[in-house]
Amino acid sequence: MNQHYVPRVYLRNFATKVGKEFFIDVFDKTENRYFKANIKKVCSETDFYTLSKDTSIAKDVLAIEKVYGEHIEPMYSRAYKILTDDTLFKINHMQRIEVILGVLYFRMRNPKILKNALTHHETNIINLYKESKEKGVKGLTYDGEDFSFREYSLEQIINSHAIKIGRWSNSRWYCTGQLQF
């Protein structure tokens, strides 16, 4: 699957529309030439966001692609409209948030960020799990969610949090865990 690291919703703003398609000027450094290209075929790679089948994030290997397409890319579009609206001289609090989040998500748009976040949280959960077991406690709390060791294995706790990150339902990057006594 062809997946864009610079979203088409962003590229459209710099493109010329021809029929239903959008084209931008491109420079090929290898061939040292300029040409027009459809935005569907630039700033993209095959399976750039596709997850490995053996990942702990989710059963859906296209989870990242879906999150970008359904939640993040519409934010870019709204932020761009706010920033380029010549009639706007003052933005409200919600518009300010849209712009900031749009820019931040655009900056961090790559699978490496997600994989690093997963590794960070997995390490935290493993350490907290070991510490909990050593102290003989009955469970742990991570990112505001309680996990009883009767109901959850270490792998299930990690997978539960990985799914949460994979769906971007939690906007905090750094989470803290607590032992339950």
pLDDT in tens, 41-67: 988 888 877 776 655 555 677 777 777
In which band, very low, low, confident or very high, does the pLDDT at 171 lie, cut at 50, 70 and 90? very low
Whether the pLDDT of residue 113 is over 90: the answer is no
Cα separation, 114 vs 155, in Å, equals: 19
The residue ranges of every structural domain in the chain are: 2-109, 112-180
φ/ψ of residue 48, rounded to 5: -60, -40
The answer to whether the predicted template modeling score (pTM) of the entire model surpasses 0.75 is: no
pLDDT in tens, 73-108: 888 888 889 999 999 999 999 899 888 888 887 777
Average pLDDT over residues 1-23: 90
Q: Across the chain, where does the E strand assignment appear? A: 2-4, 16-18, 21-28, 33-38, 44-46, 139-142, 145-148, 177-180
pLDDT, averaged across the chain? 80
**How much of the chain exceeds pLDDT 90, in percent?**
36
Whether the pLDDT of residue 11 is over 60: the answer is yes
In which band, very low, low, confident or very high, does the pLDDT at 180 lie, cut at 50, 70 and 90? very low
Average pLDDT over residues 124-137: 94
Q: Which of 14-18, 121-125, 171-175 has the lowest mean pLDDT?
A: 171-175
Go through the chain and tell me how many residues it has. Answer: 181
